[in-house]
Amino acid sequence: MTFLHFSILFPFLFAVFVPFLYKKFRSIHTGWFVLLVPVLLLIFFLTQLPVTANEQTAISTIDWIPSLGIQFTVYLDGLSFLFSLLITGIGSLVTLYSIFYLDQKKEKLNSFYVFFLLFMGSMLGVVLSDNMVVLYTFWELTSISSFLLIGYWHHRKESTYGAQKSMIITVFGGLCMLGGMILLYLITNTFSIRETILQADHILQHPFMLPALILFLLGAFTKSAQFPFYIWLPDAMEAPTPVSAYLHSATMVKAGIYLVARFTPVFGPAPEWFWIVTLAGLFTMFWASFHAIRQTDLKGILAFSTVSQLGLVMSLIGAGSLAFQFDSIEKNVSIVAITAAIFHLFNHATFKGSLFMAAGIVDHETGTRDIRRLGGLMSIMPITFTVSLFGAFSMAGLPPFNGFLSKEMFFSGMLSLLELNTFHLETWAILFPVLAWVGSIFTFLYSVLIVFKTFGGKLQLEKLPKRPHEAPFGMLVPPVILAVMVLLIGLFPGLVAKSIIEPAAASIYPALYDFHGEFPVHISIWHGFTIELLLTAGVIVLGIAGYIFLPKWKAVYQLFPYKLSLNAAYNNLFKMTGRASRNITRSYMTGYLRDYLAYLFVFFILLAGGVMAYKGAFSFHPAESAPIGIYEVILAAVMIAGSVTIVFSRSRLTAIIALGAVGYTVSLFFIFFRAPDLALTQLIIETVSVALFLLCFYHLPKLQKQERPPGLKIRNLLIAFGVGAIVTIIALSANSQRAGETISEYFLKNSYKLAGGKNVVNVILVDFRGFDTMFEITVLGIAALGIFSMVKLRKSKEGER
């Protein structure tokens, strides 16, 4: 176990001690202890920077279940390094923020930080695991801890609803992903991602490739809130704001992006991958940015904007998968898309984290997040305003913030699709930049909306639950750090480009590892007068126009009533599956024993009869059977008469006596077939059971002529006839097809020699197979005890009442 393993397990181990720290040090906010974890991990990962910056990797393995090929392998390359940095870096800031956000006295801090650390550890596990099964384990742990965190205020209905929704959707995706992993395992015979990538060519020709691809994408899309699975993310905003900032903007929703990026070397060359990922991403980006504008809740806007930005990144990774179609790296236009994806991923984490924290501050200090009630906070909360401005302008893609750079690269990535002529792109390619551009206009619009609806305009003091004032210093530190990063990276992208972004891009497109020339994509604030710059100018102009005329065209949203929304579809699906399963269960679980018996018998007829018919097992050789004597015929006639009497008798007494007659006939049969022990036993047992029947009869009401629907009678008749016929057929066939010699010869020969008895039946019962007898008498004993306790206990129960 190396430090890499420890970095994953450290949050889990620390989580164990959190409740003790909480109980022991009541006066100190538990968050201060927890803060240690991400900070130490961040420092550790920063020490790994030289490794990945030189496009090298670190790896370490522990056996977990080696017999199944499951090793806990931790693998650190550019991509995992970027994610680890985000997780621990934003994690530190969010922990710091939560110390000031969550009240020490009112909140159950112990559970909050336990869930939080669980999440952090499992997220690190997701991005650092090389083994798919381990990845899946951590993947589900993120789902579970996210579920716990969303439902943190579990007494609120919205929280539990949101938690349940996110759980169902992400676990659905997680299970799909597991299916994809198993399919990949069947193709490659390994769970290791690195070894899978090496077999990429083999995978692409395999018939399981497409199902595996789709299952993987289902997992990634549900986790990363892509269309149509994004619906859980806006509802997850019921979580405390630090959680929203951490999980639902910076880390967990990027797990799906990570997965897509990680498996791009495997599936990237397949055209389906490109089409699905790019189109889903772009459409998500457009759809969510369009719908973000109608939201009135600050966090709601941010949730939709997160969905939209994730779609942007997703589409870029999809476009980047085209890189696998090129032979030479220098001319490869899709590398820009890969780099843009990574860069925007990083930028999004910074500005979205700061925006969420700012929204949390506004909520904390004014008591509301409704933008219709907010306004004019610019002069009251200047620092929060500045942070929001930086974040929002970066999100809108304005210079000089980092969002501008990645947005420019996004445009060039989408425009690069125009130059390609693989996968029939020439006809449809224009769709990509257009969708991207329109989506960006809406992005600009809602970014402006966030800032100016909250901080601009007039202060409406009477609508605010609290008197607003600037947040405490500690709460401001994390968003300010992020905002500074937004600006710094915007101005000096070289800070991260060489060390973080390029290695990450290289791990998505491994050919870059072997390429030792100049990195083919340049990230800088000024590219010259390009078409991308023109597009950004268009975004700004149209965005401002859209903002000014917003009240005029807002009516467009009337076209999307709630009834047609995906949420309504989800709720209806939920309701309908519940109702349908209830109806199905009710339709066959009637509560009538006769119905259940009918199912049993019908299945018996179908199974036994079906197998007989299918296998052609019926055979009947009358010649081999013994001759039938006159006594057998007479006894059979008596038995048939008795049975018919039982079935058709109107009174219970007749039925009981007829049953006795059948029983005694059976014992006569035993006599004729030379089984004296059986005959004796049958005689006595029949007498006893008839006596017991008579006893019951005495207490029972008269046998009633039951009024049943005639269909039921026919059904019962058919079933009874079927069972009888099947049993008869089976018995006849079995009798005609003896497989080999019976072992009775042995018993006959050896009963006296070995057991000292001449009554072979009894010797078998007590000696050769005494074990059966022992448990048969045990059964008898249990029956007696059962009757005894049933009769006696019922009495005492009545006495209690």
Partner 1 sequence: MRRTNRKTNDVILQTTVQTVFFIIVIYSVHLFFSGHYTPGGGFIGGLMTSSAIVLLLLAFDVKTAASILPVNYLYVTAFGLLAAIGTGIGSLLYGMPFLKHWHGPVHIPFLGEIELATATLFDFGVYLVVVGVTMTIIQTIGETE
Of 340-348, 528-536, 564-572, 763-771, the segment contacting partner 1 by CB under 8 A is 763-771
Q: How many chain residues interact with partner 1 (CB under 8 A)? A: 38
Instruction: Tell me the window of 109-117, 550-558, 618-626, 787-795 that interacts with partner 1 (CB under 8 A).
Output: 787-795
Q: Which of residues 593 and 779 has its CB atom nearest to partner 1 in the complex?
A: 779
59/597 Cα distance (integer angstroms): 61
Q: Which of 28, 59, 640, 777 binds partner 1 (CB under 8 A)?
A: 777
Distance in Å, CB of 760 to partner 1, minimum: 10
**How far apart are the C-alpha atoms of 120 and 12, rounded to whole Å?**
8
* Phi and psi torsions of 345, nearest 5°: -55, -45
- The helices-and-strands tally (H runs, E runs) of the chain is 36, 2
Which residue lies nearer to partner 1 by CB, 494 or 676? 676
Cβ proximity to partner 1, 226 vs 751, nearer residue: 751
Contact range with partner 1 by CB under 8 A, out of 418-426, 440-448, 551-559, 759-767: 759-767
Site for partner 1 in 378-417 (CB under 8 A): none
Q: Which of 600, 606, 783, 793 binds partner 1 (CB under 8 A)?
A: 783
Q: Is 755 in the site for partner 1 (CB under 8 A)?
A: yes
Decide: is 746 part of the binding site for partner 1 (CB under 8 A). Answer: no
Helix axes 298-320, 253-267, angle to 10 degrees: 10
Of 511, 430, 719, which is closest to residue 55 (Cα–Cα)?
A: 511
Pick from 331, 622, 791, 796 the residue near partner 1 by CB under 8 A: 791
For helices 253-267 and 335-366, what crossing angle results, to 10°?
170
Give the whole-angstrom CA distance, residue 245 versus residue 302: 10
Nearer to partner 1, 628 or 785 (CB): 785
Stretch that binds partner 1, among 93-101, 449-457, 472-480, 782-790 (CB under 8 A): 782-790
Nearer CB in complex with partner 1: 725/785: 785
- In eight-state DSSP terms, residue 60 is E
Residues in the chain: 801
Tell whether residue 788 is a contact of partner 1 (CB under 8 A): yes
* For partner 1, the closer CB: 303 or 690: 690
Closest CA to 608 of 719, 726, 720: 726
Cβ within 8 Å of residue 262, ≥6 positions away: 79, 193, 508
Distances (CA, A) of 488 to 82, 330, 475, 480, 482: 18, 29, 21, 12, 10
- 756 near partner 1 (CB under 8 A): yes
Residue (50 or 781) nearer to partner 1, CB: 781
The least CB distance from residue 635 to partner 1, in Å, is: 20
Q: Quote the least distance from Cβ 758 to partner 1, whole Å.
A: 4
Instruction: Express the helix, strand and coil content of the chain in percent, nearest 5 each.
Output: 75, 0, 20
Residues between 650 and 709 that touch partner 1 (CB under 8 A): 676-677, 680-681, 684-685, 687-688, 692, 695, 698
Report the nearest approach of partner 1 to the CB of residue 583 (Å).
43
Q: In degrees, to the nearest 5, what angle opens at C-alpha 495 toward C-alphas 489 and 498?
A: 125
Quote the least distance from Cβ 645 to partner 1, whole Å.
26
Only segment of 14-22, 308-316, 557-565, 785-793 that touches partner 1 (CB under 8 A): 785-793
Please say which residue, 724 or 781, places its beta carbon nearer to partner 1: 781
Nearest to partner 1 of 606, 684 (CB atom): 684
3-state SS, one letter per residue, for 314-346: HHHHHHHHHHHHCCCCCCCCCHHHHHHHHHHHH
User: Contact letters (x/-) for partner 1, 592-611, by CB under 8 A?
Assistant: --------------------
Asked whether position 792 contacts partner 1 by CB under 8 A, the answer is yes
By CB under 8 A, is residue 766 in contact with partner 1? yes
Are the C-beta atoms of residues 390 and 483 closer than 8 Å to each other?
A: yes
Closest CA to 22 of 142, 145, 105, 101: 105
Cβ-based nearer residue to partner 1, 654 or 687: 687
Buried b (16+ CB within 10 A) or exposed e, 225-252: bbbebbbbbbbbbbbbbbbbbbbbbbbb
In angstroms, give the least distance from the CB of 757 to partner 1: 4
User: Does 771 participate in binding partner 1 (rule CB under 8 A)?
Assistant: yes
Shortest Å distance, C-beta 665 to partner 1: 19
DSSP string of 346-386, one letter each residue: HHHHHHHHHHHHHHHHHHHHHS--BTTT----TTTSHHHHH
Stretch that binds partner 1, among 466-474, 533-541, 570-578, 780-788 (CB under 8 A): 780-788
Q: Are 25 and 54 a contacting pair, CB within 8 Å?
A: no
Contact by Cβ (8 Å): 388, 454:
yes
Comparison of 2 and 750: residue with beta carbon closer to partner 1: 750
CB of 650 to partner 1, least distance (A): 25
Three-state secondary structure of 519-571: CCCCCCCCCCCCHHHHHHHHHHHHHHHHHHCHHHHHHHHHHCCHHHCHHHHHH
Residues binding partner 1 (CB under 8 A): 676-677, 680-681, 684-685, 687-688, 692, 695, 698, 755-759, 761-763, 765-767, 770-771, 773-774, 777-778, 780-781, 783-785, 787-788, 791-792, 795
